[in-house]
Amino acid sequence: MRFQDIKRNVIIMFYIEGIENLNDFIIENTNKTIVLYFGADWCQPCSKLKTKFMNNETKIEMPNLVVGYINIDNELNTDIVENYNIKMLPTSIFIELIDDIEINIIDRIDGHDWTKMVMIYNKINIEN
């Protein structure tokens, strides 16, 4: 695959570069709880959230979670940032693929709110 992944025995985080790469990521992970995580290297709350995604406790707490990291400073991601109307960092968007053609936004978190992240994850995984 073209997207880069970091496994380290924790949450799988893919680094997305461009729309085609994003589409591949979504299709490959339709059986998982998908979060698109928008951030930047210079954003301190983004770094804190990325660290939280990557720790062992999170993997235990949210075993079905897969994260697509979209760096807003990467020119290949400009269209994605515009399509998802990103105005604040970090932003996390829970999505699902419907009938293999339509991306549905389940929920959105603007800012770093770990409690809300866990609540949304649990709600999605209880319903499914």
Question: Domains of the chain: which residue ranges?
Answer: 4-127
pLDDT range class, residue 11, cuts 50, 70, 90: low
* Entry pTM: 0.88
- Report CA 39 to chain centroid distance, whole Å: 10
What pLDDT is attached to residue 78?
96
Tell whether omega for the bond before 90 is within 30 degrees of 0, i.e. cis: yes
Please report, rounded to a whole number, the percentage of residues in the chain having pLDDT higher than 70: 91
Q: Which helix (H) or strand (E) holds 110?
A: strand 102-110
Over residues 29-69, the pLDDT tens digits come to 999 999 999 999 999 999 999 999 988 888 888 999 999 99
CA-nearest of 7, 116, 11, 108 to 61 is 11
Rounded distance between C-alpha atoms, residue 30 and residue 111, angstroms: 25
Determine the topology of domain 4-127 in CATH. Answer: Glutaredoxin (3.40.30)
